[in-house]
């Protein structure tokens, strides 16, 4: 992998994130039968681009530096913390946004308040995180083999 002119783990992480976002766009297109370009940049949904990118980053570092290297330890820890955050804290924030949006809707019906709706797809289910991480590892393995 040394012949590639850029940081291979970084390229794999960015490309994996882009692939996850494109997957969200295509899934939405297939499900809703209409184009929604927001899905290319929106947070949340299947698969987790956060998980895909950090899993690809860690896999790329593991392939390049080995799993006993300190750099792999740092990226693996960072990846686990990012995936925990995606499935835990950010998911909870998304659920809170759902509740707040229901409150706003109820108040709008009574004519007492009119507020902007909050983004509800802030986090991921554990399954979305696992699928994103799997996508990242597979993408990194295939991409690293292609870049050799």
What integer pLDDT is reported at residue 77 of this predicted model?
92
For the four alpha carbons of 80, 43, 45 and 146, in that order, the dihedral sign comes to: negative
What integer pLDDT is reported at residue 117 of this predicted model?
62
What integer pLDDT is reported at residue 41 of this predicted model?
80
What integer pLDDT is reported at residue 131 of this predicted model?
82
Contact yes or no for 44/55 (Cβ under 8 A): no
Question: Could you read off the pLDDT tens digit of each residue along the chain, which spans 148 residues?
Answer: 456 678 999 999 999 999 999 999 999 899 999 998 888 887 777 888 889 999 999 999 999 999 999 999 999 999 998 888 877 776 677 777 777 787 778 777 876 665 666 566 656 777 887 888 888 888 888 887 887 7
SS3 136: helix
What integer pLDDT is reported at residue 93 of this predicted model?
75
Contact yes or no for 91/122 (Cβ under 8 A): yes
SS3 114: coil
């Amino acid at each position: 992998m040394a012949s590639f002119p850029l940081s291979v783990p970084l390229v794999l992480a960015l490309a994996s994130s882009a692939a996850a976002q494109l997957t969200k766009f295509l899934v939405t297109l297939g499900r809703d039968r209409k184009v929604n370009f927001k899905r290319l940049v929106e947070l949340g949904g299947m698969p987790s681009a956060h998980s895909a990118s950090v899993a690809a980053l860690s896999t790329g570092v593991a392939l390049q530096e080995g799993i006993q290297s300190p750099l792999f330890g740092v990226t693996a820890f960072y990846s686990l913390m990012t995936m925990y955050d995606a499935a835990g804290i950010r998911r909870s924030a998304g659920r809170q946004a759902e509740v707040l949006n229901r409150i706003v809707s109820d108040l709008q019906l009574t004519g007492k308040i009119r507020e902007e709706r909050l983004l509800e797809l802030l986090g991921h289910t554990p399954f979305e995180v696992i699928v994103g991480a799997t996508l990242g590892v597979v993408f990194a393995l295939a991409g690293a083999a292609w870049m050799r």
